[in-house]
Amino acid sequence: MKKILIVDDEKSFLLSLKDGLSVHSDKFQILTAENGREAVDVLRSLSVDLLVTDLKLPEMNGFELLAWVSRHQPQLPVIVMSAFGTPEIEARLAKMDTLQFLEKPLDLEMLEEGIFNGLNAGGKSFIRGITLATFLQLMKVEKKNCTLKVSISAQSAYLYIQRGELIDAEYGALEGIEAALEIVGWDDAEIEMDGICRRQDDIINMPMEHLLIEAFKRKDEAEELEKAGLLSVPERISSLPEPTSQPQPSGAMKPVPPVTATQQKIANTLTKLAPVQEYATFDEKNVLQSHSPQNCSLKDIDPAVFENLLDSLGISLGFGNYKYVVFNSTSRSRYLLCQSQQTCILTKLKPGTRAQQIIEEIRRNESR
């Protein structure tokens, strides 16, 4: 029997939906979760055929849940319960066979129709998986701040979003609007979400709606040229920035690969170390890679604040690059900041813990 997972933080709302859909108990089974973390646990343990989720969730919000689905279960059909943006963008995204949106307060008949469309392989208003353009439009609707790390075919790029607007982008030698227009058109991209916008200046200076329309227009034009035989797929690929193995212009951001085995090993080590109360690791662009389970107070900290200060001190005092820094808060909490294998590590330590002990343990596990 098909399984439908519905995620919402209002328990009474979940119960009413489950009761209303019980008339279809011979066709599908309804599972529920009250936050994103519970939903991930269900998705990991059971084979789910359709996800229905709100965006405003505790523990792990709906955006983080969608990003997880994008990486781990990209073929899972999704319905988002949310208001939508402009009719023009809605029409463009519908043309791309993207997500179905149901506006709250929810109409049960519309939900039933959406569920049957989603479970039907021929449903035209549905796709399996989440497109980047859809994700960006959701950001616009909810006025989110975040940094997205977008990966496709071993290439990675960054999108910086402030109050729902895309303010900057980086991909290979491309920056700003040119990078954004290239990235937004990617299909089957993996999305990783960091809850902080790691840029302040609006380099792009274009509303999200206009940016998406321009990106779609470029993509349509390229597809038309392909159909006419004037542009081949290899030519399109060769026009993109080269992978990291090729030289890049000075000062350009090189594409960053997904989390490496070494970086994963660092996270696993920190999770097992009893003296470490919390931890967060960041890549070379200071984008969050991993953090300690449950609620982590360190994942929303921008390590660039510390690094800029330490670099300035290093130049002023002539002591060069720092190896590690230990500092105490007014509440007597003890913190360690260090670098390892191009990974920035920030940890909260138990009282009396020697920082060197943690660093040695990290390096010991890296060498295994």
State the greatest distance between any 2 C-alpha atoms of the chain, in Å, as a whole number: 74
CB 345 within 8 A of CB 337: yes
Between 152 and 232, name the one with better pLDDT. Answer: 152
Q: What is the pLDDT of residue 319?
A: 67
Q: What is the pLDDT of residues 113-153, one digit of tens each?
A: 888 888 874 333 333 456 788 888 888 878 889 999 998 87
* 89 and 203, same domain (yes or no): no
Determine whether 260 is exposed, middle or buried from the number of CB atoms within 10 Å of its CB (0-12, 13-18, 19+).
Answer: middle
Q: What is the pLDDT of residue 129?
A: 54
Instruction: Identify the band that residue 357 occupies on the pLDDT scale cut at 50, 70 and 90.
Output: confident
Q: What is the pLDDT of residues 37-79, one digit of tens each?
A: 999 999 999 999 999 998 889 888 888 898 888 888 888 888 8
Mean pLDDT of 340-350: 87
* 6 and 111, same domain (yes or no): yes
Q: How far apart are CA 212 and CA 37, in angstroms?
A: 30
Instruction: Identify the band that residue 259 occupies on the pLDDT scale cut at 50, 70 and 90.
Output: low
Asked if residue 210 has pLDDT above 80, the reply is: yes
Q: pLDDT averaged over the chain? A: 79
Last residue of a domain, one of 70, 97, 130: 130
Q: What is the pLDDT of residue 74?
A: 80
Instruction: Kindly report the CATH number assigned to the domain that includes residue 339.
Output: 3.30.450.30
Output the CA torsion sign for 183, 67, 300, 271. negative
Contacts of 285 (CB under 8 A, 6+ apart): 158, 170, 198, 253, 256
Q: How far apart are CA 56 and CA 8, in angstroms?
A: 8
Q: What is the pLDDT of residues 150-181, one digit of tens each?
A: 988 778 999 999 999 999 999 988 899 999 99
Structural domain range at position 297: 261-366
Q: What is the pLDDT of residues 273-324, one digit of tens each?
A: 888 999 999 888 888 888 887 778 888 888 887 877 777 777 767 666 677 8
Number of domains in the chain: 3
* 41 and 57, same domain (yes or no): yes
Instruction: Kindly report the CATH number assigned to the domain that includes residue 113.
Output: 3.40.50.2300
* 113 and 190, same domain (yes or no): no
* 211 and 93, same domain (yes or no): no
Q: What is the pLDDT of residue 246?
A: 40
Q: What percent of the chain has pLDDT over 90?
A: 27
* 95 and 147, same domain (yes or no): no
Unique residue bearing structure tokens 């519970």: 38
Closest CA to 173 of 251, 96, 110: 251
Between 251 and 94, name the one with better pLDDT. Answer: 94
Q: What is the pLDDT of residue 234?
A: 43
Q: Which two tokens stand for residue 224?
A: 């038309």
Rounded to two decimals, the pTM is 0.57
Instruction: Identify the band that residue 226 occupies on the pLDDT scale cut at 50, 70 and 90.
Output: low
Q: What is the pLDDT of residue 240?
A: 42
* 60 and 170, same domain (yes or no): no
* 349 and 304, same domain (yes or no): yes
Return the number of other C-beta atoms located less than 10 Å from residue 66's C-beta: 22
Q: How far apart are CA 19 and CA 16, in angstroms?
A: 5
Q: What is the pLDDT of residue 228?
A: 65
* 172 and 119, same domain (yes or no): no
- Asked if residue 74 has a cis previous peptide bond (ω within 30° of 0), the answer is no
CA distances from 262 to 41, 68, 97, 151, 265 (A): 25, 21, 38, 19, 5
* 232 and 286, same domain (yes or no): no
Mean pLDDT of 246-255: 40
Between 90 and 8, name the one with better pLDDT. Answer: 8
* 57 and 159, same domain (yes or no): no
Q: What is the pLDDT of residue 299?
A: 83
What amino acid occupies position 51? L
Determine whether 243 is exposed, middle or buried from the number of CB atoms within 10 Å of its CB (0-12, 13-18, 19+).
Answer: middle
